[in-house]
Structure 1
Amino acid sequence: MPDVYAPHRVHQDEFLHLRGLRHHILRWGQTVPGQPPLIMVHGWMDVGASFQFVVDALKQDREVVALDWRGFGLSEMSGSDSYWFPDYLGDLDALLDRLSPDAPVDLLGHSMGGNVVMSYAGVRPQRIRRLVNLEGFGMPDVSPAAAPERLTRWLDELKDPPTLRPYATLADVAERLRKNNPRLAADKAAWLAQHWARETPEGFLLNADPAHKLANPVLYRKAEVLACWQRIAAPTLWIEGSDDQLTRFWGTRYPRDDFEARLALVPGLERTVLQDAGHMLHHDQPEALAARLELFLD
């Protein structure tokens, strides 16, 4: 293993029971009277510890809390064979009730988490002071005609559920992280690997419920999502990397023009592109991201 990244700000692990499940949160800094906490939520197949490098780069020692979504990191699995998007909204709502029941928070989400916070900010606009979306593009609209095929695929996958392959060592996990993102420094990958995976008799397994890989039988409806986005009241910051991840993910199925039209519906929107960064921009350019966040949040 290479040298392991040494955090500048060490987090505290806490566990909260939210909606019947034990959720893991990471907490940095102390509560400051009059200053809202910054709540960070990660993307699909990621963990809350993923934000460590950005927290280290913040100049202001403010209170920051990162959540492991249900079925990820050290949070409990749902106990079901499937995961539903509205549950993320419910878990986030319960988390804010615990952390800041009487005052709005600053809320940041990456990728899947970015999609969650955008919908949540439209449903609970009074709970958010500032909103940040890191590459939460959403997905292509899906025609109702796709429902039979999608439901069939889901039913078939339930009979042969997905699994996650084990890794022989944490170094192998770190190598996988760097294969996914060549910009990730070796010491940071080694540190993340400890949070991304756990040791089992079979080897090191990712801290993720394999059920997340099932086909989603609920179709993505753009009109429903945008009905939420249009109700966002908080000043909103959209940040993406200079690499074109939208085309990489979806090709022609989700044209850039479609996404731009969606963003145009969000009131009070600011935009930033981080150079030399891909989808994991909080790993690629943590210092630049932290500087832009502090400018916006302050």
Structure 2
Amino acid sequence: MYSIRHPSHSLYLPLRGFRHHLRQWGQHRPDATPLLLLHGWMDVSASWQFMVDALPPAWLAERLIVAPDWRGFGHSRPLECATASDPLAYGSADHYQFADYLADLDALIAHLNAELGRPAGAAFDVVGHSMGGNVAMLYAGVRPALVRRLVNVEGFGMPASQPEQAPQRYARWLDEIDALRQGTLALKSYTGAQAVAQRLRKTNPRLAPEKSDWLASHWAAPDASGQWQVLGHAAHKIVNPHLYRADEVLAVWRCIRAPLLVVEAQADSLGQWYRQGEYTRDQFHQRLQAAQPQCRIEQLPDAGHMLHHDQPAALAALLQAFFADGA
């Protein structure tokens, strides 16, 4: 089993109708900027443990690190479910809106600043992976004064859409909501923790068995029948009814004022999600060049999309140096 070097502690915070689960490491010092770690789609805050463990104890002794479970993931559930004994109860929501992640992050930052005795507009360092990287990029453009330094880990955005796609997208959204209601849209269940660990290794063959065994118990939980279920609401599988407007995203990215570090795996993960030529890493880099020409791009070898699992020490070293540059 994986041996934790830096244990976290959990706390629960009511924000915007949800009881949000936060995982914390380190300790706050008034002269140090707190760090927020934002996980990706169908993931949980515990996913950052391996990278945090690669940080030196002295670094954690003077910096607070906070990683939330996004709404409907992990242990962040609607307030109506907060007292339920079922860890898989996610309430009656039949879809999730991407903009809510921005509002949740905004509310979390306001709460943490008040809790830590910082000024209301004090900035944070922010690291986001995949979906969390996309949220972080948008947030840093919408609230530029609240992000001191920004790291986007494999958060590429999506292919540009066209208005003609809207009718089909809305129809698909309605169909998938109906499928969720009928119980035909669901997340896969597993026979036990080992089956969950095998699923994690299938998705990421680089993930060591001791890491997958540890992560399995944080990524899923047994239901009343003994089957293990992913700690995520099936409603997250429903397509966003709103088209991805690349022009709007670029307009937001242009408003980012924080120094930006983009970290990618050398292995191109975009190729596994989109048809050939539909959206490429070169196109992502072109967007970055258009919106943030001063950004720095780093690629880590022997890593895939989950590079905070594959190369936690290399990523931790990049973060330490990047944050120290502006200390």
Query: Separation in 2 of the partners of 1:79 and 1:112?
Result: 23
Q: Which residues of structure 2 form unaligned runs of 5+?
A: 78-89
Whether the 8 Å CA contact 1:24–1:74 is kept in 2: the answer is yes
Residue 193 of structure 2 aligns with which residue? 170
Residue 14 of structure 1 aligns with which residue? 11
SS at match of 2:43: coil
SS at match of 2:96: coil
Offset of 1:255 from its aligned partner?
2.9
Residue 32 of structure 1 aligns with which residue? 29
Question: Match for 1:82 among 83, 95, 109?
Answer: 95
- Structure 1 position 259 matched with structure 2 position 259: no
Query: Separation in 1 of the partners of 2:195 and 2:245?
Result: 38
Residue 68 of structure 1 aligns with which residue? 69
The count of corresponding residues between Structure 1 and Structure 2 is: 295
Residue 235 of structure 1 aligns with which residue? 259
Query: Separation in 1 of the partners of 2:170 and 2:223?
Result: 33
Range with greater deviation from structure 2 (245-254 or 46-55): 245-254
Q: What are the residue-to-residue correspondences of 1:146-225 with 2, within 5 Å?
A: 146-161=165-180, 162-202=185-225, 203-225=227-249
Residue 45 of structure 2 aligns with which residue? 48
Query: Separation in 2 of the partners of 1:278 and 1:15?
Result: 32
Range with greater deviation from structure 2 (29-38 or 96-105): 96-105
Residue 279 of structure 1 aligns with which residue? 305
Query: Separation in 2 of the partners of 1:52 and 1:223?
Result: 35
> Normalization by structure 2: what TM-score?
0.88
Whether the 8 Å CA contact 2:268–2:281 is kept in 1: the answer is no
Matched to 2:207, the amino acid is L
Q: What are the residue-to-residue correspondences of 1:53-132 with 2, within 5 Å?
A: 53-59=50-56, 60-61=59-60, 62-76=63-77, 77=90, 79-101=92-114, 102=119, 103-132=122-151
What is the CA deviation profile of residues 85-109 of structure 1, one whole-angstrom value per residue up to 9, with x for unaligned ones?
1000000000000112522110010
Matched to 1:270, the amino acid is R
Question: Match for 1:136 among 152, 155, 158?
Answer: 155
Whether the 8 Å CA contact 1:122–1:228 is kept in 2: the answer is yes
What is the CA deviation profile of residues 195-233 of structure 1, one whole-angstrom value per residue up to 9, with x for unaligned ones?
001111231100000000012211100011111100000
Matched to 2:198, the amino acid is E
Query: Separation in 2 of the partners of 1:184 and 1:257?
Result: 27
Query: Separation in 1 of the partners of 2:91 and 2:323?
Result: 33
SS at match of 1:253: coil
Offset of 1:285 from its aligned partner?
0.2
Range with greater deviation from structure 2 (268-277 or 233-242): 268-277
Query: Separation in 2 of the partners of 1:268 and 1:65?
Result: 27
Q: Which residues of structure 1 form unaligned runs of 5+?
A: none
Matched to 2:257, the amino acid is A
Residue 248 of structure 1 aligns with which residue? 272
Two-structure CA RMSD over aligned residues (Å): 1.1
Offset of 1:45 from its aligned partner?
0.4
Offset of 1:267 from its aligned partner?
5.1
Query: Separation in 2 of the partners of 1:44 and 1:270?
Result: 24
Offset of 1:64 from its aligned partner?
0.8
Matched to 1:186, the amino acid is P
Query: Separation in 1 of the partners of 2:15 and 2:112?
Result: 12
SS at match of 2:189: coil
> Normalization by structure 1: what TM-score?
0.97
Offset of 1:30 from its aligned partner?
0.7
What is the CA deviation profile of residues 255-295 of structure 1, one whole-angstrom value per residue up to 9, with x for unaligned ones?
33321211112154111101111100000000000001100
Range with greater deviation from structure 2 (169-178 or 55-64): 55-64
